[in-house]
Amino acid sequence: MAYDSNNIFAKIVRGEAPAFKVYEDDHTIAFMDIMPQVEGHVLVIPKEGGETIFDISDDAAAALVKTTKKVAAAVKKVVDAPGVMLAQLNGSAAGQTVFHVHFHIIPRSGGIDLKLHAREKADFEQLKALAAKIAAAIV
């Protein structure tokens, strides 16, 4: 499948779609998942377009991992999570639903089940407030 430059993440990169951003630099953007599996679920995308990790440059992949690490530390701190799950899916067979490479940062605590992905939208005011807290915690 060819990369669709009109996917929602590509639109976020171009500023054509809104997002509750927690971080942005020259190569990446991190923002709240509007259908989170748990509180604090954040997505990190490269600005370079590509469906999977195999479709982006090594430089874009390196920037993506660097930003994911930085943002994950802030998410862990803000939601006081003892653990963080990082998920990166490649292709529909792996469960990918938006075909622009991305990482999921999912805070984890013992005994807290994950919601099914992409099933229920979160309260946008709560996402906005949490995004501000995570953004403030990024070093």
Active-site residue list: 102
Q: Which helix (H) or strand (E) holds 22?
A: strand 21-24
How would you class 58 by CB atoms within 10 Å of its CB: exposed for 0-12, middle for 13-18, buried for 19 or more?
A: exposed
Q: H-helix or E-strand containing 133?
A: helix 124-137
Rounded CA-CA distance 7/90 in Å is: 15
The span from the CA of 103 to the CA of 23, in Å, is 14
